Amino acid sequence: MRKLSLTLLAAATIAASQAWAADLPRKAPPAPPPPPPLTWTGCYLGGNIGGAFGDASVTINGGEVSSNGSGFAGGGQIGCDYQFTGGWVVGIRNMFDWTSNSRSRTIAFGPLAGGVVDFNNQWFDTLTGRIGYSWQPAWLLYVQGGAAWGHTTTNISFGGVQTGQGSNTRTGWTVGGGIEWMFAPHWSAFLEGNWMDFGGNNGVVVTPVACPAGCAFSTSATEATVLVGVNYRFW
């Protein structure tokens, strides 16, 4: 009898312990780790599209023919950034764009009066360094500058026949700036403006009547761009 009583007492004790344990608050599962902080440090690859606004001129026989024009610009870019403590960002970027910027003007002076000058800018390539400040983790304001290369063509025709051409890849410089927004992990979008100066080029116009011995000419070209683009960033 005593043994049975002890058995019943032990069973009751175990049951009470289990009921008490069931009433205790359960420990919450561990919180997931916080997402990594946004940073501009890393490299990226992307594309861009926008407008190109060019100014070109040719000087011949003491007179000048100039023209402003606008066209399409589009291409891609690749680069890398590094963000310092405090929000400052430095980087380097290469951008290559094709353009459809072309325009024509008629010569109204000298022996070549009535001739036509055609200006074309086929593409540009820029290699720039940039410095910016990220006042919010996802926003970057920057300025940039460096070297620029552009392929420009200046054709001079007289009486429907091409008599002179200045066509080459020119080396110049560029400055610009913009704003970039990191709208999702690994993805950012930017809006920027740039100015490029491609310097000058020389050539000779030869026509049987107006310039039988050849008339020297010189050309110059500049380009401004307004671009929007998207980058995929590798961390």
Q: What is the DSSP letter of 235?
A: -
Global pTM reads 0.77
Residue-range domains of the chain with CATH: 40-62+69-234 (2.40.160.20)
Residue-wise pLDDT tens digits, 83-132: 998 899 999 999 999 998 877 777 777 777 777 777 788 899 999 999 99
Nearest to 177 by CA among 196, 189, 193: 193
Q: How far apart are CA 57 and CA 55, in angstroms?
A: 7
User: Does residue 220 register a pLDDT over 70?
Assistant: yes
**Residue 20 burial by CB count (10 A; 0-12/13-18/19+): exposed, middle or buried?**
exposed
For residue 224, the one-letter residue type is: A
| Share above pLDDT 70 across residues of the chain, in percent, rounded to a whole number | 75
**Quick one: pLDDT at residue 153?**
79
Whole-number average pLDDT of the chain:
82
Residue-wise pLDDT tens digits, 21-57: 555 456 666 766 666 678 999 999 999 999 999 887 7
